[in-house]
Amino acid sequence: MELLRKWLGHPEDIYNLLRFKMGGYRAVMPRIDQDSLGRGLRTCYRYLNQTSRSFAAVIQALDGELRHAVCIFYLVLRALDTIEDDMTISLDVKVPMLHEFHSYLYQPEWKYMESKEKDRQVLEDFPTISMEFRNLSKVYQDVISDVCHKMGVGMAEFLEKKVDSQHEWDRYCHYVAGLVGIGLSRLFSASELEEPIVGEDTKLANSMGLFLQKTNIIRDYLEDQLDGREFWPREVWSRYTKKLSDLAKPENIDMAVQCLNELITNALHHVPDVLTYLSRLKNQTVFNFCAIPQVMAIATLAACYNNKQVFRGVVKIRKGQAVTLMMDATNIQAVKAIMYQYVEEIYQKIPSTDPSSNKTQQVIASIRAMSLPGSPMASRHHYSPIYLSCAMLLAALSWQYLSTISKATEEYVQAGEN
């Protein structure tokens, strides 16, 4: 019944969960005809579903040949990331592999059979992936190879190097996520579904990736600590504690939350770039592909801001909330309204004693200026009494059904959480 009580407080979640489950998902994640694909591409899409059903869904919604290019781009970077993550590979083997990985795209027989990682199939059957890479138009090949090369070099740089300064935090996030944003943007322009400026403006594309990566790093503090990983910049956390791990101690919770708020404030500085980037997109499938993760990220930051739970467990947005965001974020005015809603939520939680309060207020002011509500979407959560009554009755009748939502759908609405 706890689930029911949560839903009663968010009737729009109930409505959108039902819409999503009963076919609304097709608007944002239509399936492609597998029979129309060759054997190699079918295999690649199978690997895509196995490694991330959420990304598989949004990639399959893209138009035309761009869909295949992004699928291969994802699998190539997944293979590279699998090498980087595999702690059983010694550094004297791993570093040269990361530096040379882009060259393996042009070696038809190259594969790696020694990985112990769960996604090792992308390395063991790399010949299939590299073959489909070579089947892409040269303009796509050049983008994927270039990004793969730069990312491999960056990963090698940070293998034994901790993130110290905020500049290094930006640099690390650039290598692991900003380059993905830049590569995708270049693919969008190469497909001619978007204007050349989308691929040429690397500053905005980089910010798209940094906003997502910083959100994940902030949210995943405790998980990373338990895994022995540290991605919060020393320059920031050292002002609050002597050791990053000490932020999880109950006696340090006030300082921990202040550190958290400073990092969230840092991440919010990317939102204006995100809005400018999204405002340039013309193709609906590209817009959905780009916008959904960004609105998931701002909702996640709003949930994390000034929240002690970040240091005690997992902070996630509600499933119904995620579905609502997915189904609403289909145009720039809607995205601006969503951004406005969540920065207002953060603003209302700013403690007057927080050391970063002035900076947080300043960055929120700049986001407000770009996303002032001026469309029906700005009041999208105002419902009539009749609607509320119907929604509550619907919740009482259907909460058990909705609680058994399929695994595929659940993984998809976590697209912004992975």
Locate 42 and state its tokens.
């079918």
25, 172, 240, 305: the catalytic one is 172
289, 305, 311, 340: the catalytic one is 289
Give Cα 392 distance to the centre of its chain.
32
Q: For residues 209 and 239, give the distance between their C-alpha atoms in angstroms, rounded to a whole number.
A: 27
46, 229, 239, 312: the catalytic one is 229
Residue 120 appears among annotated catalytic residues: no
Q: For residues 384 and 380, give the distance between their C-alpha atoms in angstroms, rounded to a whole number.
A: 11
Check if the beta carbon of residue 222 is closer than 8 Å to that of residue 312.
yes
Residue 229 appears among annotated catalytic residues: yes
Which single residue is written with the structure tokens 């019944």?
1
Check if the beta carbon of residue 268 is closer than 8 Å to that of residue 215.
no
Locate 88 and state its tokens.
């059983």
Check if the beta carbon of residue 216 is closer than 8 Å to that of residue 414.
no
Which single residue is written with the structure tokens 């910083």?
214
Q: For residues 37 and 211, give the distance between their C-alpha atoms in angstroms, rounded to a whole number.
A: 34
Give Cα 134 distance to the centre of its chain.
28
78, 186, 219, 318: the catalytic one is 219
Locate 29 and state its tokens.
């994640």
One-letter amino acid for residue 341 of the chain:
Q
Check if the beta carbon of residue 296 is closer than 8 Å to that of residue 322.
yes
Which single residue is written with the structure tokens 């995100």?
274
Q: Which residues are catalytic?
A: 172, 219, 229, 289
